[in-house]
Structure 1
Amino acid sequence: MNQPLAKLNIFSGKGIQMRTFHITWLTFFFCFFGWFGIAPLMPLVREQLHLSKEQVGNITIASVSATIIARLIIGRLCDTLGPRLSYTILLVLGAIPVMCIGFANSYESFLLFRLIIGIIGASFVITQFHTSVMFAPNVVGTANAVAGGWGNLGGGVTQIVMPLIAAAFVGAGYIDKGNSWRVAMVVPGAILLVMAFVYYRFTKDTPNGNYNEIVRQTKEKKKGTFILALKDYRTWILAVAYAACFGVEITVDNVAATYFVDNFKATLIMAGALASIFGFMNLFARAMGGIISDKVGNAYGLRGKGLLLAGFLLLEGIGIMLFAKAGTLPVAIISMLLFAMFLKMANGGTYSIVPFVNREAIGSVAGIVGAGGNIGAMCIGFLFKSKNLTYSQAFLYIGIGVAVVGLLVLLAHLRASQKVESATNIKDEAALARA
């Protein structure tokens, strides 16, 4: 019988655990292309559709709103249907609005497409669920953080790649610059369909096979997992924490390019390149957060993980406030790098705790916490649509809010059950697998 791995070797693709690990982060990476591919092209969309600041704000809010419900549903489906089929279905359904957004010819139709595209954001829950069942407790935080971070990297890469794809279509003479965003969005949609096939064909639900291939001894326990997750106060603390880190991240993914165009007069490609710096921090920062959290957890338990997460959030909040006050482009870039590092480490730290809240309801806990991130982004979006606030003022308020959440987590006293607490300190792989 295959067991969850107690060691993460990122250079290995051997075994169903590592194969699933690499496929799931890569799939999540391309999901970001579909989800935020239009973000760096928004200056073109804004000009062609004559969008006001308030309308752009509504579009930003819409892009993360549908994800809230989708993550709750997907979390439950992972517990019942399994991550393999859940991901395949989500990818096929998500590819349709991504490829079709180019047909939007008004604010209302574009808003609708942007709303529907948001369901792709639920891919994160599946990624975190799948790595949680493939790896043992002593390394699951690291596995979750690396998979999530490398997947989130897509949010940075798309800031560079999508403007280049649009420019390539213009350069080839297929379409004019104003309409290039319409054709460019077909590319990420097609990639999602390819990844749907890859995920269905080459992954398994668990180390021992798919749900329909194995005798699931916990079948009865799978009933009511969503209620179990809802009843646990730790689920809600983590949801608020994730709103303060990932909620800010996807907001920045949405507005960064436009912010650099408006505030520093950058060109579209230059603004995308500057915004991508934020996303590229995922290459190591989220993973570093998970690695440090695992080490702290092995030494000090879940309480230590919680204190570490609080520290990440406090430093993130301070960094955002510095970014809001930046008066020059170099200072803005340096402060963005600062808060991006702690933000993404907080992302990793949050999901290093998720698998220890309730081992029988990992999918539901992951879904609720993930939805918390999008609720945070939705609330933050109202700041950016306000006619009375500049983007800089909005960032200042966000920084203050994140620091307050850090203090909340600091006072929350996160603790694990005795079984999980002891499992985090056991080095024997067999004992870890029984946790």
Structure 2
Amino acid sequence: MKSTVSEKATKLELLNFKSIPMRTFWITSISFFICFFAWFGIVPFMPDVVKDLGLTPAQKWNSIILAVSGTVFARLLIGKLCDKYGPRLCYTYLLILGAIPVILLGFVQTPLQFLICRLFIGFIGASFVITQFHTSIMFAPKIVGTANATSAGWGNLGGGANRLGMPLIAAAVISFGVAEDIAWRYSMVIAGFLCLAMGLIYYFFTQDTPKGNFADLKISGEMPMLKKDEVSFISTLKDYRVWILFLVYAACFGMELTVYGTMDDYLQNRFGLDRSTAGNLVLSFALMNIFARTLGGYFGDLFGKLKGLRGRVIFLALILAAEGAMLSLFSITTSLAVGMIFLIAFSLTVQMAEGATFSVVPFINKKAIGSISGIVGAGGNVGAFLAALFLKSKSAVAESAAINSNSEFGEQVIKAAQTSAAASAVSSGYFLIGGFVVVSALMALAIKFAAAEEEVEVRAIQFSAGDK
């Protein structure tokens, strides 16, 4: 698409499709949704995959770990590439190349092939970084937190919508005469072609900035050249604020992934819910991304208007501390009704904290927004990985002890003891994780901005306030 010139948007006008920033907002949000949809698309079909390929429990867990691990490295890399080549080309290539392992997953015949595909599919999780980068440079300071949070929240819905959407795709495939036990293969192929189609849409219907594409702006001298970008990247790595935000995002997005990844079993073991009810509850909390992240970005922007950049940090610390408190309180609750109140509060605050984090990120170093987004985004996956290992190790030790101490009794007694031990171990793990989140909130307060940085943003907000 031919580059056109516009200005940064000062409002989130969802129906203004003529606006370049708003058109970009919709396309990048939908692309992010489809990437998450494809990334976790195999999850609803895992029982079929285990039966079809003969996966062992260890191979099943390894596939999950590989998918998350691939995302960490991809997020670190894609941020720097965005700074260098622009979000339009990065997203185009990520979607098109990412479609390949998604499609190939429908043709795997061995566990090894399945694991390799899962590793490379994890790379499309880097789509989050490009989405945040692209919205950051399309929206003015007074609205950028809200825009970032909304695009991320709506994109994250893809990770929950696949639990409903992929079975529907499989049902449609089966209606055409495909055998039920291999419908998962056709469903993954379809998901891959959706990624491919969005890659083409991204290339032809977006541009890097309101003023045009990176390549054109560098030729005209309106953007720094490669050498200056490298210096900016080095300074990014040395900026302590980036690593605090890395920790903060591990404490919110990382904990959300871990808690919701273990919540199905916990609700069953702790409160005696059946698997279907527990699964539906977890899905409903994931769907809160429709509005909860947006609230975090909105209040981040509001505190920014009232108290400057320091105000954004203060709100981030407050909402992060509330998240940790809600998780710890939930962990010690034995009543299902009371527990649901704290779990809903945790879901709300953790997603608001994610939105608040990326209301701060665009103001750390404007010459390296992509690199910073990549590092901070990777923090979420690192946090999820470490927290999952922590809970898994506590649960494994507790369950083994329960089995050994009840080995003289019948199978039913052993199973009950194992279930109780697992619930207690995860409960204590949640409590400690909540404490870690509160400590991270206190560390967030260490983020400082120079007086000159504060003054620049005050002027930018005052200037954009005059736009209608």
> Which amino acid letter does the alignment assign opposite residue 437 of structure 2?
V
Structure 2 counterpart of 1:218, from 224, 235, 241? 224
> Which amino acid letter does the alignment assign opposite residue 123 of structure 1?
S
> Which amino acid letter does the alignment assign opposite residue 185 of structure 1?
M
Partner of 1:406: 438
Structure 2 counterpart of 1:276, from 274, 283, 299? 283
Structure 1 counterpart of 2:28, from 24, 27, 34? 24
- Of the two structures, which has the highest relative contact order with CA contacts closer than 8 Å and spacing of 6 or more? 1
1:265 aligns with 2:294: no
CA-CA distance at 1:337 after TM superposition? 2.6
| CA shift digits 1:87-123 (9 cap, x unpaired) | 0000011111112223334443322221111100110
How does the TM-score come out when normalised to structure 2? 0.83
1:90-101 aligned within 5 A: 90-101=94-105
1:317-396 aligned within 5 A: 317-324=324-331, 334-383=341-390, 385-386=392-393, 387-388=396-397, 390=422, 393-394=425-426, 396=428
Q: Distance in 1 between matches of 2:45 and 2:333?
A: 24
Q: CA 1:254–1:51 in structure 2 vs 1: closer, same or farther (change >3 Å)?
A: farther
8 Å CA contact retained: 2:38, 2:102: yes
1:160 aligns with 2:164: yes
1:189 aligns with 2:223: no
1:428 aligns with 2:435: no
1:278-293 aligned within 5 A: 278-293=285-300
CA-CA distance at 1:54 after TM superposition? 4.3
| CA shift digits 1:37-95 (9 cap, x unpaired) | 12233343345555555443332221211111111111011111110000000001111
1:415 aligns with 2:411: no
Structure 1 counterpart of 2:250, from 203, 221, 243? 243
8 Å CA contact retained: 1:242, 1:370: yes
Partner of 1:209: 212
CA-CA distance at 1:430 after TM superposition? 6.0
| CA shift digits 1:101-157 (9 cap, x unpaired) | 233344433222211111001101100000111111121111111111111121221
8 Å CA contact retained: 1:302, 1:414: no
8 Å CA contact retained: 2:145, 2:300: yes
CA-CA distance at 1:290 after TM superposition? 0.4
Partner of 2:417: none
1:59 aligns with 2:59: no
Q: Distance in 2 between matches of 1:381 and 1:407?
A: 19
Gaps of 5+ in 1: none
> Which amino acid letter does the alignment assign opposite residue 39 of structure 2?
W
8 Å CA contact retained: 2:214, 2:223: no
Q: Distance in 2 between matches of 1:296 and 1:331?
A: 31
CA-CA distance at 1:318 after TM superposition? 3.2
Partner of 2:72: 68
CA-CA distance at 1:378 after TM superposition? 1.8
Partner of 2:309: 302
Q: Distance in 1 between matches of 2:199 and 2:95?
A: 5
> Which amino acid letter does the alignment assign opposite residue 185 of structure 2?
R
Q: Distance in 1 between matches of 2:433 and 2:154?
A: 27
Moved more, 75-84 or 330-339: 330-339
1:27-38 aligned within 5 A: 27-38=31-42
Q: CA 1:197–1:15 in structure 2 vs 1: closer, same or farther (change >3 Å)?
A: same
Q: Distance in 2 between matches of 1:23 and 1:63?
A: 25
1:104-115 aligned within 5 A: 104-115=108-119
Q: Distance in 2 between matches of 1:377 and 1:399?
A: 16
| CA shift digits 1:326-373 (9 cap, x unpaired) | 667766655443221111101101111001111111111111101111
8 Å CA contact retained: 2:332, 2:431: no
SS at match of 2:71: helix
Q: CA 1:391–1:109 in structure 2 vs 1: closer, same or farther (change >3 Å)?
A: farther
> Which amino acid letter does the alignment assign opposite residue 179 of structure 1?
I
Q: CA 1:275–1:362 in structure 2 vs 1: closer, same or farther (change >3 Å)?
A: same
Q: Distance in 2 between matches of 1:116 and 1:132?
A: 27
Number of residue pairs matched by the alignment: 430
Moved more, 65-74 or 295-304: 295-304
Moved more, 288-297 or 257-266: 257-266
Q: CA 1:330–1:368 in structure 2 vs 1: closer, same or farther (change >3 Å)?
A: same
Q: Distance in 1 between matches of 2:273 and 2:175?
A: 26
> Which amino acid letter does the alignment assign opposite residue 205 of structure 1?
D
8 Å CA contact retained: 2:251, 2:436: no
1:167-182 aligned within 5 A: 167-170=171-174, 172-176=176-180, 178-182=181-185
Q: CA 1:266–1:34 in structure 2 vs 1: closer, same or farther (change >3 Å)?
A: same
How does the TM-score come out when normalised to structure 1? 0.89
Q: CA 1:137–1:48 in structure 2 vs 1: closer, same or farther (change >3 Å)?
A: same
CA-CA distance at 1:247 after TM superposition? 1.4
Percentage identity across aligned positions? 45
Partner of 1:40: 44
8 Å CA contact retained: 1:423, 1:432: no
8 Å CA contact retained: 2:248, 2:441: yes
8 Å CA contact retained: 2:21, 2:210: yes
> Which amino acid letter does the alignment assign opposite residue 224 of structure 2?
T
Q: CA 1:396–1:145 in structure 2 vs 1: closer, same or farther (change >3 Å)?
A: farther
SS at match of 2:137: helix
CA-CA distance at 1:191 after TM superposition? 0.7
Q: CA 1:67–1:106 in structure 2 vs 1: closer, same or farther (change >3 Å)?
A: same
Moved more, 338-347 or 181-190: 181-190
